[in-house]
């Protein structure tokens, strides 16, 4: 459902203006090839939500201008620009107005190339800002469809942290795993020296090319994750994430992966997770485990001893509170009080979250 169309909030020069925000994630808990409800194979993933870094967008709509007169700042955000153009066409149709041009301005602090969903975050923020300029709030499945058209595959950031198995190349939910993930404490780090991963250079396989044994293995992990969410079993969740991460090494081949898992075992973690299309990784802890602070300190020291840079220690509890209380983050208005510079060379730096 969408709201009734209303004029966007007037911006500079009295033009209708909309804002949007989208979060990031911290890589995946599970990624592989699965079967949908009709038995068809699909690439799918379950992301690990993380509060903090995100993308803000502001769109100034210029009625009466041709739709190709659409600009974006920074100018290198081509995927967000495509998303904005597609959303203008969608919203103009819904509002019975002619498509027009405008200016999209993006700001954000998500590290690029680490597998944290920076491009999807830009795209979704852009979609929400354009829709907001028309006085519309597009449903999540429409946002997902527009995002896939803009960037060919997208992360489920439009769903605001709910644990779902998501077909990233099709923009649809394969399964809602439950209302919330079991609570986790995550010690984040980067592999491969933190260098961005060129996902286009990775070996590409279609779901049809996956072997039957491989699909069955992923379906077993899916069933285990479903059970972990239903029962709040943090240890079982960690087992699934570690198994998925290990499978991902067949493509990523991070030289530090065995050291990462060894550090996790010694620190009493429940497992590890990685970004299957990036360098970010995490050591997963049960927040109810005794001596948690000591375990986390041991983990950070162990990572340092293996020259694996620790980036942030965070908990999923903030995200889960949002989901379980039913209080959705604002999709339209961007976060206030954040003044980030824009420009083609604007660096995206990882925002260090408070350590435990």
Cis bond before residue 74 (omega within 30° of 0) = yes
78 inside domain: yes
Q: What share of the chain is helix, strand, coil (3-state, %, to 5)?
A: 35, 25, 40
pTM metric for this prediction: 0.85
User: Which helix (H) or strand (E) covers residue 261, if one does?
Assistant: helix 257-266
Residue 249 lies in a domain: yes
User: Does residue 151 form part of some domain?
Assistant: yes
Cα separation values, 69 from 81, 86, 100, 123, 324, Å = 11, 13, 8, 18, 42
Inside any domain, residue 351:
no
DSSP conformational letter for 70: E
Q: Does residue 267 lie in a domain region?
A: yes
User: Is there a domain that residue 107 lies in?
Assistant: yes
Q: What is the pLDDT along the chain (356 residues), one digit of tens a residue?
A: 343 344 555 655 689 999 999 999 999 999 999 999 999 999 999 999 998 899 999 999 999 999 999 999 999 999 999 999 999 999 999 999 999 999 999 999 998 889 999 999 999 999 999 999 999 999 999 999 999 999 999 999 999 678 999 999 999 999 999 989 999 999 999 998 777 776 656 666 678 778 899 999 999 999 999 999 999 999 999 999 999 999 999 888 899 999 999 999 999 999 999 998 889 999 999 999 999 999 999 999 999 999 999 999 999 875 433 333 333 344 444 333 333 333 333 333 333 433 33
Q: What is the sign, positive or negative, of the torsion defined by CA atoms of 99, 103, 107, 110?
A: positive
Question: For residue 268, what are the domain limits?
Answer: 9-325
Compute the CA torsion angle 315, 319, 323, 326 (nearest 10 deg). 120
Domain count, the chain: 1
E strands along the chain, which residues?
9-10, 16-35, 41-62, 70-73, 101-108, 164-167, 172-176, 185-190, 271-274, 280-285, 310-315
Alpha helices in 134-187 (DSSP H): 140-151
Instruction: Give the closest residue to 31 by CA, choosing from 122, 193, 209, 164.
Output: 164
Buried b / exposed e along 295-307 (16+ C-beta atoms within 10 A): bbbbbbebbeeee
CATH code, domain carrying 226: 3.30.230.10
Taking residue 117's Cβ as centre, other Cβ atoms within 10 Å add up to 29
Examine residue 339 and state whether it is found in any structural domain, yes or no. Answer: no
DSSP, collapsed to helix, strand or coil, labels residue 46 as strand
In a domain, 2, yes or no: no
């Amino acid at each position: 459902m969408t709201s009734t169309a209303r004029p966007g909030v007037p911006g500079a020069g009295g033009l209708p203006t909309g804002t949007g925000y989208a979060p990031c994630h911290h890589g995946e808990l599970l990624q592989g090839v699965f079967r949908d409800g009709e038995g068809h194979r699909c690439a799918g993933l379950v992301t690990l939500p993380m509060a903090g870094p995100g993308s803000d967008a502001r769109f100034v709509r210029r009625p009466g201008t041709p739709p190709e007169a659409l600009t974006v700042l920074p100018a290198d955000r081509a995927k967000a620009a495509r998303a904005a153009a597609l959303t203008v066409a969608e919203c103009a149709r819904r509002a019975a107005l002619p498509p027009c041009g405008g200016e999209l301005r993006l700001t954000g602090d998500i590290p690029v190339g680490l597998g944290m969903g920076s491009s999807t975050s830009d795209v979704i923020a852009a979609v929400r800002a354009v829709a907001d300029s028309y006085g519309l709030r597009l449903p999540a499945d429409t946002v997902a469809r527009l995002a896939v058209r803009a960037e060919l595959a997208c992360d489920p950031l439009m769903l605001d942290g709910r644990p779902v198995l998501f077909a990233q190349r099709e923009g649809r939910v394969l399964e809602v795993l439950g209302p919330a993930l079991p609570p986790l404490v995550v010690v984040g780090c980067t592999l491969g020296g933190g260098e961005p991963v060129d996902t286009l250079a990775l070996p590409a396989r279609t779901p049809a090319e996956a072997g039957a044994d491989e699909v069955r293995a992923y379906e077993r992990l899916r069933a285990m994750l479903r059970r972990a969410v239903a029962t709040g079993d943090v240890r079982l969740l960690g087992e699934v994430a570690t198994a998925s991460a290990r499978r991902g090494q067949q493509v990523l081949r991070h030289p530090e992966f065995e050291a990462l898992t060894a550090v996790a075992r010694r620190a009493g973690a429940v497992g590890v997770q990685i970004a299957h299309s990036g360098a970010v990784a995490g050591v997963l802890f049960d927040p109810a485990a005794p001596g948690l602070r000591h375990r986390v300190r041991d983990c950070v020291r162990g990572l340092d001893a293996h020259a694996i840079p620790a980036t942030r220690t965070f908990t999923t509890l903030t995200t889960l509170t949002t989901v379980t209380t039913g209080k959705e983050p604002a999709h339209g208005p961007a976060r206030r009080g954040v003044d980030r510079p824009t420009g083609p060379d604007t660096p995206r730096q990882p925002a260090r979250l408070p350590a435990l």
